[in-house]
Amino acid sequence: MTTTLYGWGRMFDLPCPSPYVMKADILLQLLGVPFARATADLDTVGKHKAPYVIDDGQVIEDSTFIRWHFEAKTGRDLDAGLSPEQRGAAWAIATSLENRLSQIMACERWLIDANFNKGPRQFFMDVPETMREAVIEQVRGDFTRTMQGAGFARFTRAEQMQLARADIAAVAALLGSRPFLFGDEPTAADASAAGVLVSCNTRFFESELPDLIAAHSGLPGYLERMNTRFFAEDLWPPMG
Ligand SMILES: N[C@@H](CCC(=O)N[C@@H](CS)C(=O)NCC(=O)O)C(=O)O
């Protein structure tokens, strides 16, 4: 009986470079599931994305499906105790952060040359040197086209930050002065929020995002609380 979460370990002054891997890690910890962590091999799974889990031989892809799989398996509801209105707010804030703020954060890392060179370029260091630049050009080009297709890369950087400011203000307003989004204990939405906001909050990159977070008095303490609770030590195998 083994459960392994596949993702990536510490990079960019972060517990891991992916907000969704952080989210899945927090969800499994919240559910009390004993699990191991291992470096992802995207070529081995159908959706070619991390996080994924192999649970007794069964592959579960996508952080939300990982949540549902283990909620069903453990018989636990991570939003137990929330009212229907809070459940709606929890889903809305999680999906907005995962599907918009996270994409803006990714544009900061992948589309700004200086950030790309010190950041995502490091993902390709295992590619043989003779083909490395071609692979990087291909993957970065694919990312750019995807972001243009989805519309994010059509915004100016100033417009992206305007949208990010509103997303961050929304989560700060929802948090208020509570320790976690819906009270004294974290729920599933905290896993999503922390995954995305911690990813935005690194000073490793040149970005306005950490300043937008710092503008809200409750957020830095919240992220510190989530970090201390879920990523106090380096839990992932070192990268590279
Ligand atoms: N909806 C997915 C998103 C996962 C995702 O986008 N993972 C990225 C890393 S942050 C990935 O694996 N990207 C590799 C690729 O697209 O080739 C989830 O919640 O798990």
Is residue 38's pLDDT more than 90?
yes
Cis peptide preceding 186, ω within 30 of 0: no
Mean pLDDT of 134-145: 98
Q: How far is CA 141 from CA 22, 115, 207, in A?
A: 26, 16, 21
* Residues 2, 7: Cα–Cα separation, whole Å: 16
Q: Confirm or reject: Cβ of 49 under 6 Å from ligand 1.
A: yes
Locate CATH 3.40.30.10 in the chain: 3-74
Look up the CATH architecture of domain 3-74: 3-Layer(aba) Sandwich (3.40)
pTM above 0.75, yes or no: yes
Question: Cα–Cα distance between 124 and 173 in angstroms, integer?
Answer: 39
Domain with CATH 1.20.1050.10 in the chain: 84-230
User: Is the pLDDT confidence value at 60 over 80?
Assistant: yes
DSSP class of 183: B
Mean pLDDT of all residues in the chain?
A: 97
Neighbours of 67 (CB within 10 A): 22
Q: Which two tokens stand for residue 153?
A: 């890369």
How far is residue 193 from each of residues 70, 124, 190, 219, 238, measured CA to CA in Å? Answer: 19, 28, 5, 11, 24
Token output for 89: 């707010």
Burial of residue 58, with CB atoms counted within 10 A of its CB: 0-12 exposed, 13-18 middle, 19 or more buried: exposed
CA of 44 to the centre of ligand 1 (A): 14
- CATH number (1.20.1050.10, 3.40.50.2300, 2.60.120.1130, 1.10.540.10) of 84-230 reads 1.20.1050.10
Hey, which of 11, 14, 20 would you mutate to test ligand 1's pocket, going by the most ligand atoms within 8 Å of its Cβ?
Answer: 20
For residue range 192-232, list pLDDT tens digits in order: 999 999 999 999 999 999 999 999 999 999 999 999 999 98
Q: What is the pLDDT of residues 63-115, one digit of tens each?
A: 999 999 999 999 999 999 999 999 999 999 999 999 999 999 999 999 999 99
Distance CA 100, CA 46 (A): 24
Q: How far is CA 162 from the centre of its chain?
A: 20
Residue-level pLDDT at 235 = 82
Q: What is the pLDDT of residues 149-205, one digit of tens each?
A: 999 999 999 999 999 999 999 999 999 999 999 999 999 999 999 999 999 999 999
Q: For tokens 């519309």, what's the residue?
A: 151
- Would you say residue 233 has pLDDT above 80? yes
Looking at residue 236, its pLDDT comes to: 86
Percent of the chain at pLDDT exceeding 70 = 99
pLDDT band of residue 238 (cuts 50, 70, 90) is confident
Which atom number of ligand 1 is nearest to the Cα of residue 52?
A: 20
- CB distance 28 to 35 below 8 Å: yes
